[in-house]
């Protein structure tokens, strides 16, 4: 049984910053055994890839729209993944979801279908 809980969302003005957290728990689950990703979904749109970190923690990937502004990181001791967001724009407004992948070799981490577990999401609203 795996649970992912996001936190840190809120209302911020354009140009501001937020740090999202994803706390993972489970009897045999460790974020060090899975790739972890952040996705977002705005009303009327499909879930969109934002960022991912590999199982080893040595590789990261970002959507073009957030490169240079968002940073994914993890603290394995706390079983927590973070998304630091700076220079926020109104178009960043969405519900942000944390996901844990399937633990399969060759997974494409930019695809939502590659993830087995999801949190409930945290709302990020950026005002202009």
Q: Are 66 and 86 in contact (CB under 8 A)?
A: no
The DSSP bridge partners found for residue 116 are none
Closest CA to 99 of 39, 41, 11: 39
Tens digit of pLDDT for each residue in 8-59? Answer: 999 999 999 999 999 999 888 999 999 999 999 999 999 999 999 999 999 9
- pLDDT, residue 27, reads 87
51-59: Cβ within 8 A, 24+ apart: 51/83, 52/109, 52/110, 53/81, 54/109, 55/103, 57/32
- pLDDT, residue 106, reads 76
- pLDDT, residue 113, reads 94
Tens digit of pLDDT for each residue in 85-128? Answer: 999 999 999 999 999 998 887 789 999 999 999 999 999 999 99
Question: Residue 41 contacts by C-beta under 8 Å, 6 or more apart in sequence?
Answer: 47, 48, 94, 95, 97, 121
């Amino acid at each position: 049984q795996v649970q992912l809980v996001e936190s840190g969302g809120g209302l911020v003005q354009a140009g501001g910053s937020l740090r999202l957290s994803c706390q993972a728990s489970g009897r045999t689950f460790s974020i060090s055994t899975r790739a972890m990703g952040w996705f977002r979904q705005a009303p009327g749109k499909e879930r969109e890839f934002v960022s991912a970190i590999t199982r080893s923690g040595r590789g990261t990937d970002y959507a073009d729209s957030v490169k240079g502004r968002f940073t994914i990181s993890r603290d394995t001791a706390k079983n927590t993944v973070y998304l630091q967001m700076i220079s926020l724009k109104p178009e960043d407004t969405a519900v942000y979801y944390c996901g844990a992948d399937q633990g399969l070799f060759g997974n494409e981490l930019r695809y939502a279908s590659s993830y087995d577990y999801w949190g409930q999401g945290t709302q990020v609203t950026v005002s202009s």
